[in-house]
Structure 1
């Protein structure tokens, strides 16, 4: 259900003892009508949670197949990712690629120009870019607890916060079990009983050392950093299992699952956390007084937002606030945080299998706006719902007090797609984000592949067989309009502003029938919004780039007009793995060179894909799971190689 954050009881509007309103099991929420309210007491919270969950549970548990969401949207292809403004970085180093300059995002490598810090294979490494030496190495706790996760980090001064996706929090799915109905943990817990992300505070002032840890039940959604304050969003669910009963009817199974819910306690719902600092460990649980709910919810999902100060001596308890809600996409411009949620995870598998169009009620995205300008817990401001689904965080952007949102509605698959895309303009009015303008009818039969808002202009790419690039004039929020359209083969999956009316795109070239043919980079002239044109294209046959689905992998260094993307190129024999560097000049693309991290053994496992690129003082640093390489920007010769594998 929709995600919301709240800074405690003082920030919600009223209390209620009414029965908890719930959506029907196979329908999404209608648009509008969301309001956060607090519970009168812990027993009342538990009663309403049970009522909501019992209305949603079926013969196989929560959801159509007895398995409510157990994955992060960020780990799907086309994941919400981060990418940056062309002018966001201070002179001298590129920083990391983020959507907005005022809101840093976790990634596998960070730099402040003085040091480069990266995490790989359960270790943290510190590099001095001036001497090109590895100056620190730290084994991270819990490195072997969950092999499929990828660590990320945030950096501020002498502090790094490592975010580990340790464990995999169960999401109330059925297991084969006999006997009576009772609540049991959804996964085998770690020794401390908590299954979920681990946050690790590291002191980098000398040899790196751990100065604090924090663990909480759930799955890591995302995080944002403004100044020294970090907001971490975690999604969790009641720790319940529903046993499979051989020979029982669906009615009998549903009744037994409701009995499990009846026997559950608040401890089965509320997230637990553990804090370690100074050699001491303390435990806690999110209190009922910190839990709120929107007007409609299922009781099957909870979202907790934690706030940490990287300048503090220890992590602390995170000042947790929890909402009985779900959430997928996080966007922040620094002073404000937006969290959006849709029901795609529940709806699409059924609809695709049946080749039917979604019901409009299922195609609703809820958006919550919060003030995070202070160091304390987020303050809820307003909320809204819009038709359709978001592709990622770039489908949202705040400008001049207005939130612009791009969505796709309808069926995008099958022989007769009926999809269409829209851009909505919202403005906070009291506790509601009110729609003040919209543009509809973009890319009929297609879906959005990329969105980028730059000032008062929106750039929207839709695709099925060709790639319309729409420019949307948003300067008058009450009367937005499509000002131009460019149709070319293929598509851009990520768009990046390059200044002076230029826009960079990275995606796939495609045939007239829409068959992809390898990575393409495009340089667009959008200085005249009525006549967008593509002035250059660079095509790599059978190529694929991580930047196509995770823009953290994209680098644009405006001082040199340098574009760097990682590439895997398939062909005869083993695939090649390189970082491709291009210069985007007025006359088009010029190839600067390539960098590889091949270890020279000829073995497939030693053809290490490059993941990220950074610029520090005229040196291009490329990062892979094997190590870091320093390359001269002026000559493209290797200056140093630091192996970490």
Structure 2
């Protein structure tokens, strides 16, 4: 693994002399160094298409970004990592019917810390500090779905010195024959490191306006070098698992930058990362003319190649991830603009162990959505939220056999959500649908659906419809209601807004140029996750609430949307009280779905249950247990559809533990009538419907 922080050893320029004599007229004087950065602009997200930058343009843009950072005494910008999204696909590698990782789009796989191929569970265990040093392992566990049993076949220790927890894994298929089989496993991890900045000494002022007395010790402390933690590397490691008892590391790829998200189509992995160029020896506390001049000389003398991300294969020689003239920048970029963040979409063929291509874009990415044909990066400008002028820019990239090609850019009013922004985008019949929100001066939200389509022969995504509009003025959500859940499904969309009650809106998108609100249902509580069950039903997960809008328990519901004008709640179950929690409320991967038959869909999700305890002086919430809850949607081929709670596999409970020891990686895997519950580093096996305690 190559070092991610590059120390640039640069020498200052010498005064050049000419003519061969010492006459004053022949000495070439060094030009004054310009350290006035007041006219530079920090680039923001801008509407409009992208264009390929020349090496000199990219160098100027990045170096101006460094200068703006010095001017504003900044270090590094922050990126918002995307939260992944959901649907379900069934795998048939070993025969039988079993659940896999939830994905938003069929055919577009998403990463998880647990994978299942019908024969083996591949589990990246959470980091365990119980023995002092951090420990994490790759476990491979054989399953027998006929007997609902498991056998651990191998444990492979994973490096924790440089890399963090393994939250992302993918299976690699043979890609041969009608029934592919697993040949490899790819793990993806972030690294972190510390980089130091000198903090400025600031003269504090007391409340009476007089300077505070600061002694030499305080000045030394305030001027010391403070560490700043920065994610700065991505590791992709491939294991050959054809012999599960002895998995073998076969290939690794290290990429500079921070991991924003991944997707996999077939055996092609798409890694979306951000990279912030830097010069490690810049003095961000420079407050003298000499220090500022030294900074400017460092910037001027650094080649653009030194400011671009690199990659290395099998800890080999670092190679440039992009060429200096291979980045896309906004077409409106001017010479006085400065921007540091570079987004890369890197295509990797996991089967052939090759980096296919990496596309570089200057800008920010907040939401990632992928169909089987296109990948979209959405970024929102929040700077003008208080006067209803915020907007979101979306870049479309075509996914081809040869890699990734920039296709088009569009912009819409409003911003994507901080929570699961990818859910707010969807592609259907060559149209992109996106749901955004504007916030007014009082913070009141205004929600808007926009439909975009690529303009033929141009790199533009044109807005062809919006909702609400003058012909359909009904708003999405009542006053002050924000969006808690969104799910697109073909020619419909479902939106949950909430302040004190939960309106479920059904949007009719059959005519892409004339979207409309088909119907709505208002009930207590709210849903954060929506999952279509066929064309007529929607499963929902959220919280029950009281009259004041406070959560009072975890709620699962089933809605009948067969008549979009009159959606109805036909079943609901509420578990626990205040502080009861499910990882699945904000992590869709904790849910599993399996179509057991035409008449039945099975669902699992973990719940950590709390109860209200009334003491002599006050009431409090007490943890009861953590377990995997099992549900069935029955009667799908009849007119008597219901959502039924059928049991719980309890992993931890009060009396055995004082509090839950593991959370965050609970997963349910269903295979025919067997259930496998991943909890922490363990797997609990059980027949379906049989509740057991660990």
Calculate the TM-score normalised by the size of structure 1. 0.81
Correspondence for 1:481 among 507, 511, 516: 516
Q: d(CA) in 1 for partners of 2:654 and 2:556?
A: 29
Correspondence for 2:158 among 123, 128, 140: 140
**RMSD, aligned α-carbons:** 3.2
Aligned 8 A contact 1:23 1:29 in 2? no
What is the aligned partner in structure 2 of residue 237 from structure 1? 276
1:575 Cα offset (Å):
4.6
Seen in structure 2, the aligned counterparts of structure 1 residues 260 and 518 have a Cα distance that, compared at 3 Å, is farther
What is the aligned partner in structure 1 of residue 687 from structure 2? 632
Correspondence for 1:469 among 501, 504, 516: 504
Q: d(CA) in 1 for partners of 2:559 and 2:291?
A: 58
Q: d(CA) in 2 for partners of 1:601 and 1:556?
A: 32
Q: d(CA) in 2 for partners of 1:627 and 1:167?
A: 27
Q: What is the correspondence of 1:500-519 to structure 2 with a 5 Å cutoff?
A: 500-519=535-554
Aligned 8 A contact 1:509 1:516 in 2? yes
Question: Do residues 578 (structure 1) and 636 (structure 2) align?
Answer: no
Aligned 8 A contact 2:388 2:440 in 1? no
Q: d(CA) in 1 for partners of 2:349 and 2:647?
A: 41
Q: d(CA) in 2 for partners of 1:596 and 1:257?
A: 60
What is the aligned partner in structure 1 of residue 191 from structure 2? 166
Correspondence for 2:87 among 80, 84, 88: 84
Correspondence for 2:137 among 97, 102, 123: 123
Q: d(CA) in 2 for partners of 1:255 and 1:494?
A: 54
1:151 Cα offset (Å):
2.5
Q: What is the correspondence of 1:141-156 to structure 2 with a 5 Å cutoff?
A: 141=159, 143-145=160-162, 149-156=165-172
Q: d(CA) in 2 for partners of 1:457 and 1:293?
A: 35
Q: d(CA) in 2 for partners of 1:340 and 1:524?
A: 30
Deviates more, 1:111-120 or 1:122-131: 122-131
Question: Do residues 385 (structure 1) and 411 (structure 2) align?
Answer: yes
Q: What is the correspondence of 1:170-569 to structure 2 with a 5 Å cutoff?
A: 174-176=197-199, 195-206=232-243, 207-240=246-279, 243=283, 245=285, 248=287, 261-262=299-300, 264-276=302-314, 281-286=316-321, 287-295=323-331, 296=333, 298-312=338-352, 315-317=353-355, 319-344=357-382, 347=383, 357-361=385-389, 363-374=390-401, 376-391=402-417, 392-411=421-440, 416-429=442-455, 430-440=458-468, 441-443=475-477, 444-540=479-575, 541-542=577-578, 543-559=580-596, 560-569=600-609
1:587 Cα offset (Å):
5.0
What is the aligned partner in structure 2 of residue 16 from structure 1? none
Please give the secondary structure, in 2, of the residue aligned with 1:153. strand
What is the aligned partner in structure 1 of residue 645 from structure 2? 591
1:397 Cα offset (Å):
1.0
Seen in structure 2, the aligned counterparts of structure 1 residues 264 and 402 have a Cα distance that, compared at 3 Å, is same
1:150 Cα offset (Å):
4.4
Provide the aligned length of Structure 1 versus Structure 2: 569
Q: d(CA) in 1 for partners of 2:533 and 2:326?
A: 44
Q: d(CA) in 1 for partners of 2:63 and 2:404?
A: 27
**Alignment deviations for residues 326-353 of structure 1 (CA, whole Å, 9 cap, x no partner):** 2122111222211111234xx4xxx9xx
Q: d(CA) in 2 for partners of 1:360 and 1:29?
A: 16
Please give the secondary structure, in 2, of the residue aligned with 1:205. coil
Which has the higher Rg, Structure 1 or Structure 2?
2
Calculate the TM-score normalised by the size of structure 2. 0.75
Q: What is the correspondence of 1:13-28 to structure 2 with a 5 Å cutoff?
A: 24-25=41-42, 28=44
Seen in structure 2, the aligned counterparts of structure 1 residues 118 and 411 have a Cα distance that, compared at 3 Å, is farther
Q: d(CA) in 2 for partners of 1:221 and 1:519?
A: 29
Q: d(CA) in 2 for partners of 1:254 and 1:514?
A: 54
1:185 Cα offset (Å):
13
Q: d(CA) in 2 for partners of 1:257 and 1:513?
A: 56
Q: d(CA) in 1 for partners of 2:40 and 2:675?
A: 52
Deviates more, 1:47-56 or 1:394-403: 47-56
What is the aligned partner in structure 2 of residue 101 from structure 1? 106
